[in-house]
Structure 1
């Protein structure tokens, strides 16, 4: 906002403050007073700045200070959400119900949390579930942008598994999940080879079509 825009907003805030002062239930509106004080601060800031200066709220010190205060709390909430989803996935694993579960945004982080809890042990069943969900565009993977984001968070073995599954599904559309179990083993032990095989099959498909 430029000085003119800030001045107009300040006048609006002052008008609202005068209106509130006439109503007993609004006279002690802390939020309104804080808003008025902020517009007054911006008005003074731009008045002292060179002509043509524009205030950007994304870089304003007050906004940045608020974000800095909020960031740790937001990080704690996100960690709690990831931990809760990891607990849920763990329970689903124990019930052998992962395949009936729709993946959600953030499950890649929950997978990492499960691996961390296991002391770095790869969660093969979770990895296979994520690869199959990515290939079949299940859950949040239905959105291309979400798929791209998920792919950026998954490990090379999971991505190689997903790529190989996609090509095998094109080769044998009716193949059962159990019939393709070898793809997970290959991707886990030789992810680069699995990726190369997926690329080769894609090329063969393109040249044969």
Structure 2
């Protein structure tokens, strides 16, 4: 568009704005005001440019920045949808393993902390004791994705305190009595659920005693 075409579009937008102001139901038309402001910006852009300059949105930094922001937002929404689908599919998988009684044989994966939240949401907010115990054992023994130190560090901000306390106590008990069967340590989960702070303190005490 050349300066004349932009000026004509600006005049049309001004006319529409004046017309809207006369009608109470259109006085607060946000879209109309935004359109007017955009034509004013483009008019000023050409006024400051070399005479004869033609407006091209592909060379307009403001327009290109808006398009880039829109594309980034769309990509972020798509990524969120993919992640939500992944979490739902993994939650379905863990539910199936629970029904088969083989959850303990599964390896934890990156993102299972979010899957735990999804399972809790599906249960109406009730804690998933079996999933919590499974994650605690994996964290304590460095199984699955918890083999990676960064994943273990991240768990401190992703898992609730009872699960972390349970894992800490299991780790110390395993060092104290190597080879102990998991069923013999079922009391650790009950302690962590009842009083996670005291359970964590016990784990710290055992670590000190061992050292």
What is the TM-score normalised by the length of structure 2? 0.68
Q: Distance in 2 between matches of 1:142 and 1:122?
A: 25
> Per-residue deviation at 1:62?
5.0
Match of 1:152 in 2: 157
Please state whether the residue corresponding to 1:152 is helix, strand or coil. Answer: helix
**Structure 1 residue 135 and structure 2 residue 116: aligned?**
no
Q: Are 1:196 and 2:201 matched, yes or no? A: yes
* Structure (1 or 2) with the larger CA radius of gyration: 2
Which position in structure 2 is the counterpart of 1:107?
Answer: 112
Over aligned residue pairs, what C-alpha RMSD do you find? 1.8
Tell me what 2:121 maps to.
Answer: 116
Give 1:49's aligned residue: none
* Counterpart Cα distance in 1 of 2:103 and 2:75: 35
Query: Which residue is equivalent to 2:175?
Result: 170
Aligned to 1:157, the other structure's residue is in SS state helix
Displacement of 1:150: 2.5
**TM-score scaled to structure 1, two decimals?**
0.69
Structure 2 counterparts to residues 14-33 of structure 1, below 5 A: none
Specify the alignment match of 2:83 in structure 1: 78
Q: Distance in 1 between matches of 2:102 and 2:155?
A: 22
Unaligned runs of 5+ in 1: 1-36, 46-59
Aligned-partner Cα distance in 2 for 1:146–1:67? 28
Give 1:73 shift: 1.7
Superposed structure 1 runs of 4+ greater than 3 Å apart: 60-65
